[in-house]
Structure 1
Amino acid sequence: MKYASLAIHGGRREDAEIKGVNYPLYLSSTFVQDSIGDYGEFVYSRSNNPTRNNVEQLIAQLEEAKYGLAMASGMGATALAFSLLKPGDKVLVNSNVYGGTWNYVSRVFEERGITYEVVTDFNHYDFDKATADTRMVFLETPSNPLLYVTDIESVCKKAHEKGMLCVVDNTFMTSYLQKPLKLGADIVVYSATKYYAGHSDIIAGAVVVDDDDLYTSLKFHQKILGAILSPFDSFLLTRGIKTLPVRMDRSQENTQKIVEYLEKHEAVKKVYYPGLKSNEGYELQKKQATGSGACFSITLNDNFDSVAFCNALEIFDLAVSLGGVESLVCHPASMTHESYSKELQDEIGITDDLLRFAIGIEDVDDLIDDIAQAFEKARK
Structure 2
Amino acid sequence: MSTLTARFLGVRHHSPACARLVSRTIAALRPGHVLVEGPADLNDRLGELLLGHRLPIAVFGHYRDAERTATSWTPFCDYSPEWVALTEGRAAGAQVRFIDLPAWHPAFADRSNRYADAEARYERATARLCDRFGVDSADALWDRMFEAPEPGGQDDAALAERLALYFDVVRGDTVADASDRAREEYMASWVRAALAEPGSGDVLVVPGGFHRPALVALTAAAPPACGAADGTPPVPRPPADALAGSHLVPYSFHQLDAFTGYFVRAAAGAGPAGSPGLVVEPLAVLAGSAVVVPDLAAGPPTAGTAPAARPAPDPVAGALAEALGALADTAHRGLRRLDRAGLDRLDRAAAALDRTGLATAASRVRAVPAAVAGGGADAAAGPWTDAQLFLLAAADLYGSR
Does the TM-score normalized on the shorter chain lie above 0.5? no
- TM, length-normalised to structure 1: 0.23
- TM, length-normalised to structure 2: 0.22
* Bigger share in helix: 2
